[in-house]
Structure formats: C-alpha cells, structure tokens
A and B are shown apart, each in its own frame.
Chain A
Amino acid sequence: MKHSKILLLAFSAALLVACGTKVPITEQAPVLERAPEPVAPPPPPPPVDVTPRDVRPVEAPAPAVLKPAIVYFDFDSYVVKPEYQGVLEAQAKFLTVNRTAKVSLGGHTDDLGGREYNLSLGQKRADAVKRSLSILGVNESQMEAVSFGKEKPAITATDDEARAKNRRVELSAP
C-alpha cells in the first residue's frame, strides 16, 4: 500500500531529521509482504520476416498479330472454294480468341472488264470471305470488307496464270 509506504518514509525521514545526534537504530524498516503479481505470458515471437530479393524473369508474350492470308477465286466467281476452309478456320480461331483484333478483307479481280464493275466484283469476293468468317464466329465489328477491283494486281502480266493470281481476297491486319 503506497500510502503506508509513504508514511513510513516520511516517519523515517522525520526521525533522521529530528535527531541530529546519533540515534541507535532500534527498528528496522518493516518488510512488506505481498503476494507476487502474476506475470503476463510472454508475447508470441514475431513471424519470420522473409524479404525476397530474388528476381524471376518473365517473358511478356508477343502481341497477338493476325497472320496474313490469301484466298483465290475462279474466273467470274466469288465462291470460296473448299480448299480454303482450313485457312479461314485458322483466321477465325485467331479472331475469336483475340476479340479486340481486327481483319481487313481486300477483294481483287483480274484485269478483264471495267474498273467500277470490277470494284463491285472484288467487293463480292471480300463479302464472301467475310460471311465465311462470320459463320466461324468472328464478330462483324472485327471485319471490314473493301475492294480494290483491278487496281492493285499482284502480278501485272495478263496471261491466265497471272490472272488467276490476281483474283483473290487478301486478309491482313488493318
């Protein structure tokens, strides 16, 4: 009890002060007996602090880019031939996986005939490929079908072989 301690100290102090002469210590300070206070359990040890300083390299994947492709057509035709099914499936697969990717479909004709009518024929070819891709799940918003008619031939010769190479739709990233 603090109170008694203070009084005791004050009494002791008073005794010493009051007596200038040696005073035999006849009493000893009383020893206060107190029950020991219970000791709080020690705090749990802190978790082991692992600050990693390793660096594991990661390779960012290359941006998904549409691989260009070409579909060829018969004379006066805009029917997509079965032999190009695989090519279009591969294009569609890319575009359905990468929904933000786009494809530009450019339709072309050979050199025979008028420029504006050939522009329309080239458009029919581009539209046919677009329809095929749509059936394979590509969104309308990912595709634009345009025509170049006979204005951008792949080969400028006018033999049958060159003409066959000019009747085409080119699929490319816009």
Chain B
Amino acid sequence: MTTHFSRRKIITQAASLAGIGLASTNSAAQFRVEVSGIGASQLPIAIAAFKGDDLAPQKIAAIVQADLLRSGVFRAIEGVTGLDETNRPDWSRIRALGADTLLTGSNNRLADGRYDVRCRLWDAVRGAELGVQNLVVTTAELRYTAHRIADWIHEKLTGEKGVAATRIAYISKTSGATPRFNLWVADSDGEGANSALASGEPIISPAWSPNGQQLAYVSFESRKPVVYVHEVATGRRRVVADFKGSNSSPAWSPDGRNLVVTLSRDGGSQIFLLNALGGGEPRKLSSSLYIDTEAVFSTDGQSLYFVSDRGGSPQIYRMPANGGAAQRISFSGNYNISPAISPNGKQLAFISRIGGAFKLVLQDLASGTVQPLTETAADESPSFSANGRQIIYATQISNGGRWQEALMTTTLDGRVKSKLTAALGDIREPDWGVFQGSALK
C-alpha cells in the first residue's frame, strides 16, 4: 500500500540586506544532536539500518533513532544489522540484545529519482508485527519522512504523539565586528534549516502562530525594536507594532487572532493586546508604574502569564486575558522571567536566577514545587514541544575557550538532553512549533 502526502513547502527566500548574505539554506552549518542522559524507564528499541540507507542521501534509520532517543522515551539497542522489512528476524537473538521493539526497513531509489521507503515495526517480545509503512517520497522529503516514522513509532508505543516532525525556529548570529543575524526554520533536530529572514541588525523573540504558518518576531532593522508577523512559506510579512518607543515580546492567542505585545508608547513597558493582522488601536491590558512584559496566553486562552517587577524584582504573575488583578505565581528567589506554559496547562517552565546563575526550572502549578532542569548557568528562552514532553532552550556552553551560545532540549525530568550547536557563531532564541501535517497511522 503506497501513501502519498502533500509536499511541505521549502522556504528558499532569503531576504538579503546590505552586505554578504548567508545562503538561504543552512547546508553549511552542522548541527550535532548529542543526546546524553538516561531516562527513568526507557523502552529499548533496536533499529536496523535500512537496506539502501548507505547509498541514500539521508540515512532514515539514523534519523529515526536520534529522534526517538531525544524524546527520552527510548534507548537504542545497537548491533542489529543486515535486516530489511521483508526478513523474519531471529527473535531469540534480538531479545538477547535486550530489545523489546525492532524496526527494520529499506530505502530504495526509484527510476524517476524518488525514494521507496518501507519499514516494519515489531514487538520483539511477542515476535509480532506492530505496523508497516510504505511511502514513496522525493529526495527533499526524505528527512521529513524519517521524522514521521519516528513519530509513528512514538505514538504506537506510548499512545502519545511524537514531535520529531515538528519545526523549530531560532536565531543565529555570526561573530565579528559586523555580525549578521538570521531567523531559521528547521526540523526539530536542527537539520534542514532554511533562513526566513537575514538581517544586519538583531532579531529576537520568534513566536510560532498556532497554525504553524507564521512567525511573529522583533526586528531591530529600523534601528528600534518593531514587531513583525511573517508568513514563512511566502516570505510575506507585515509590521504589527511600530509605535513610538519600543515594541517587543509578541505572543499569540490560542485562536491565532490576537497577539499580546509589550509596548513603551505610554512610557515604561506595558502589555497590550493587538489584532494579529495589524492595524487598529492596541488595547492596554496592564497598567502599572513598573515593568510588565513577556506575556504569554494560557492554553485555554483565558489567562496571561507575564513578568512584572511590581514587587521589587522580576517575578511571574497571572492575570485574566482581558487584564485585571494579577496573582503572583513564582516565589523562589528574586529573579524569575521568561514563562512558558505546558500544553496541558499544568506546568510552567521559566528562567530563575539561582546563586547568580540563570537556570531553566520547571514549576508544578498545583503544588508550587520548583525543579531545576539543567547544569548550565546562562539559560534563556524556554519553549515546550507540542506534546509537552520536552523543552527547548538557549544556553551557553564552553567551546574552545569561549562561551558559545547553543540550543538544548531536555525532558521534563531533566534526565535526557540534546545539544544543537552551529559550527560557527551563536544560536539563540528558540521557539518550538506546533503539530503539522498528518501523522502516519
């Protein structure tokens, strides 16, 4: 049975500003996903290299394995080779290696240049087939296909959707006297990145729209911070907030119709509600003599979590989505910023200054318990994956005598992490996108 799916549009536009522009695709950067850590109870899966992977431009089995490892749910059983989806495996050998599940497959180039990708998922304990996939895809779709297969396996074995096929956005900065900035859209593993925006001035705070087609962000290209909404596939973008003073911190309402932003048009930094199409008068939601910023909607759209220093130093508060009395949420330490709410609304990830270090922490909203998740000391900008099982964040890692800005992911228990670094320069400001496209069944 062959299934087809509509090809995802690949962004090729590079908005080139003065000077030497980066290539619009990130073929030169090397993102190494390094997974470290052991989860509480991980499912052991053996993934045999797909027959034909060694000749194919993308190694399906390796991509699937990295995706599953990064989820924290699985651990890889090595040593299974020489099988494709047509072979009946030697179960005693597979089980002796410690695998409960096995994936076998093949990846063959067709005469018309497309690829015939087939795979079979096995329950190694019972020696029974769990499912099969047969897909014909183009070369450009091979990575995405591998991610879809990983998500299929994740859902088959956990009952929860995987996020391997989702996209991330992040920003890169080159080193040197005249840095260049790019806003990238990439696969969840950082590969296949395409530049959505190239600029000689900083870009910060990218935020995926709920339908995954647009990014809101702050650009300093006009020598002050201005909020844009940018349609990724077409490159069309519009200014949504360019009022007197600074405009920043965009976050989407769950229905995609509105944005909350931070504006200094009335002085200071206050939170306003804007129509995402732009135009119209913004509605002021906060009104204090203090800093009110970094507002994000709760999952049900009824509340806003935001940062305020009305108590003397920055803490996280919650108020009704149309403004009103705010309730303090964070109580640990005297510097808590950058709230990100989990998709199920039960946990809040944020950055807490602990002993001078800026650390990603996770707070259970019901109990108030706060748990630090990292060993790094300059964490920023946390964002939940669409299934709420991982958090991506920016941090600094020591690399050859300097601190390099890199991205990391972590499971919610902090045990399994992956690291994405650029070969050159810094990457920062990640935002994890939504579920998109149809899942394999």
Contact = CB atoms under 8 A, between A and B. Distances in A.
Interface stretch (B12-20, B35-43, B99-107, B241-249): B241-249
Contacts of B381: 114-115
A92 interface: no
Interface string B321-361: 00000000000000101100000000000010100001000
A127 B289 CA distance: 12
Nearest to B429: A115
Contacts of B338: 114, 116-117
Given A114-B351, A148-B220, A151-B204, A127 B267 contact: yes
A123 B245 contact: yes
Given A124-B268, A144-B244, A145-B245, A114 B202 contact: no
A29 to B, nearest CB: 104
Interface string A99-135: 0000000000000111111011101100100000000
Contacts of A113: 335, 337, 353, 358
B380 interface: yes
Interface in A41-76: none
B24 interface: no
Interface string B163-206: 00000000000000000000000000000000000000010110
A123 B202 CA distance: 17
B64 interface: no
B409 interface: no
Contacts, number: 83
Given A121-B291, A123-B245, A145 B337 contact: no
A147 interface: yes
A42 B120 CA distance: 129
| SS of B interface (majority) | strand
B380 A114 contact: yes
A129 B220 CA distance: 21
| SS of A interface (majority) | mixed
A119 B337 contact: no
A114 B225 contact: no
B267 A120 contact: no
A144 B267 CA distance: 10
Contact of A145 (B264, B335, B380): B264
Contact of A120 (B205, B244, B269): B269
Interface in B204-225: 204-205, 220, 224-225
A146 interface: yes
A146 B267 CA distance: 10
B348 to A, nearest CB: 15
Complex A-B, nearest 6 residue pairs according to Cβ-Cβ distance, in ascending order:
A120-B269, A151-B202, A146-B224, A120-B291, A114-B337, A147-B246
Given A120-B291, A123-B245, A146-B225, 10 more contacts: A112-B358, A114-B381, A117-B337, A117-B338, A120-B268, A123-B246, A144-B245, A146-B246, A151-B204, A151-B220
Interface of A: 112-117, 119-121, 123-124, 127, 144-149, 151-152, 158
25 contacts: A112-B358, A113-B358, A114-B338, A114-B381, A115-B205, A115-B380, A116-B262, A116-B294, A117-B293, A117-B307, A117-B314, A117-B338, A119-B248, A120-B293, A124-B268, A124-B291, A145-B245, A145-B264, A146-B224, A147-B225, A148-B202, A148-B220, A151-B204, A152-B202, A152-B220
